[in-house]
Structure 1
């Protein structure tokens, strides 16, 4: 059975359930030495990352958890150097983008499109911006996803390709040009299996693809 390190501290149940549905053993840890023994890494959603990591002062970010920022970055660094598969979701995608030299809009002008309403994810459409990319093969050129964030990609990190974009111009998914890295700004774990919804695509395809990357 393949093992995936789940590097996070907030509610992890949905991520664990989605991975286990794919017969993947989940190791929830922030310890680099324990994590790197796994076949892949999932960086989950969570709070804002300290903007010092992309050379900015606080300007719309929520107060960061600096210990978590460092722990996740150290684990990400180890997996990148080992060229092991990585799946980033929401905060996880933002961390990946920052790691490769990118930056964030600390508080989107169009945040109302993307933030949760009354405890529920927002739903909006995204479109493919690269012909024949992975997500287009799964879902077509235009489709609905869920959304629960107030920050977004500003400068794209080196080696990353934007593959999905919302109508207001926010990057919704990236892949790495050479490394086995895939990341979404939306939350496929809340569109999968028992969490399937009628107003958005099925997120299961993303987890199945991630499993196919594990060696």
Structure 2
């Protein structure tokens, strides 16, 4: 399956980029990722010409807080052009009922797109040190039995590379939670109630204890669609 792949951008240096791990990882689970530039005149026309069948939103910098109605208190590495490109990609995917996977920033973008908000800094707002680049991994709880059946467990250990996140209070109305960090309540996995849209807060493309479970879930998702 060919999928559109959102990528990072550096407005100051004038280039887009994607980390090396994404393409090999997605190919390993049966996908052929096609990168989508952030500076396009017509994103929809570009995607239509590529004949892709799904969308993967990658990790990266923070989403502009004005998109979820907050002042900027702790957000950095902002890229409004990327925010807009990904919003158009989500318009296309949801209208066409195409499968969407969000990774790290990607799950946050999904939540914002559907009307949710973000915790701009987990350490200062929630007092939690569980997340972030200083930790190799932490435990999560799979809180939806339909996902536990596919994963084969009711808990996982996952990597962590984020300082922002989704709280239950900030969850978009159209989304449900399937995974949570029991230590602090930070949402780790979401899905859309009616659309084939799923997102995880960790990075399955990087080394993580959850590699095998992630591969099972994502193959099932892209091959068979939403199972919830």
| TM-score in same-fold range (> 0.5) | yes
Q: Which residue number in structure 2 is paired with residue 115 of structure 1?
A: 132
Cα contact 2:63–2:83 (8 A) shared by 1: yes
DSSP 3-state at the match of 1:207? helix
Q: Which residue number in structure 2 is paired with residue 7 of structure 1?
A: 6
Q: Deviations over 1:36-58 (max 9, x none)?
A: 43100000001000000000110
DSSP 3-state at the match of 2:60? coil
Match of 1:25 among 32, 35, 60: 32
Structure 1 residues 136 and 104, CA gap change in structure 2 (3 angstroms) = farther
Structure 1 residues 26 and 123, CA gap change in structure 2 (3 angstroms) = same
Cα offset, 1:116, TM superposition: 1.0
Q: Which residue number in structure 1 is paired with residue 197 of structure 2?
A: 181
DSSP 3-state at the match of 1:122? coil
Q: TM-score, normalised by structure 2?
A: 0.82
Cα contact 1:3–1:40 (8 A) shared by 2: yes
Does 1:68 find its partner at 2:62?
A: no
Cα offset, 1:136, TM superposition: 4.9
Cα offset, 1:148, TM superposition: 0.5
Cα offset, 1:11, TM superposition: 3.0
Q: Which residue number in structure 2 is paired with residue 86 of structure 1?
A: 100
Could you tell me how far apart the structure 1 residues matched to 2:206 and 2:45 are? Answer: 29
Match of 1:35 among 37, 44, 47: 47
Of stretches 42-51 and 102-111 in structure 1, the one that deviates more from structure 2 is 102-111
Q: TM-score, normalised by structure 1?
A: 0.87
Structure 1 residues 38 and 107, CA gap change in structure 2 (3 angstroms) = same
Cα contact 2:61–2:78 (8 A) shared by 1: yes
Aligned pairs, number: 203
Does 1:145 find its partner at 2:155?
A: no
Q: Deviations over 1:81-118 (max 9, x none)?
A: 1111000000000000001100000000345321113x
Could you tell me how far apart the structure 1 residues matched to 2:119 and 2:149 are? Answer: 26
Moved over 3 A (4+): none
Match of 1:163 among 162, 173, 178: 178
Could you tell me how far apart the structure 2 residues matched to 1:28 and 1:157 are? Answer: 27
Q: Which runs of 5+ in 1 are unaligned?
A: 192-196
Structure 1 residues 62 and 161, CA gap change in structure 2 (3 angstroms) = same
Could you tell me how far apart the structure 1 residues matched to 2:33 and 2:2 are? Answer: 6
DSSP 3-state at the match of 1:189? coil
RMSD: 1.9
DSSP 3-state at the match of 1:147? coil
